[in-house]
Amino acid sequence: MVRLVEDRILAENLSVQQACQAVAPKLGVSWHTARQWTQQACCDGHTHQHQSKDLVAEVAKLRRENHTLRDTNELLKAAPAPLN
């Protein structure tokens, strides 16, 4: 269950609460219970939280770069073709 929450956090850039709210109904528990389990696993050292934070930061950086590249690409498409 904790792994599902972590995967949601990474894949969709969600907060712990949002990820728990998304995963909990599928497991038949309340989101509060899912959050408690996730917090307990973190305290016990059974999560990849430190890796998750690094990955979230990397994903955010790559999304910014992707946005910049798309903007640049649109500018290049809109520019007039050079005369030969």
Ranges of each domain in the chain: 2-78
User: Does the CA dihedral 30-36-39-41 come out positive or negative?
Assistant: negative
pLDDT, position 28? 92
Q: Residue 79, Cα to own-chain centre: how many angstroms?
A: 35
User: What average pLDDT does range 53-69 have in this prediction?
Assistant: 83
Angle at which helix 2-12 crosses helix 16-27, to 10 degrees, equals 130
- pLDDT tens per residue across span 11-29: 777 888 888 899 999 989 9
Integer angstrom CA distances of residue 84 from 5, 19, 63: 57, 56, 37
- pLDDT of residue 82 exceeding 90, the answer is no
User: Does the CA dihedral 62-22-17-45 come out positive or negative?
Assistant: negative
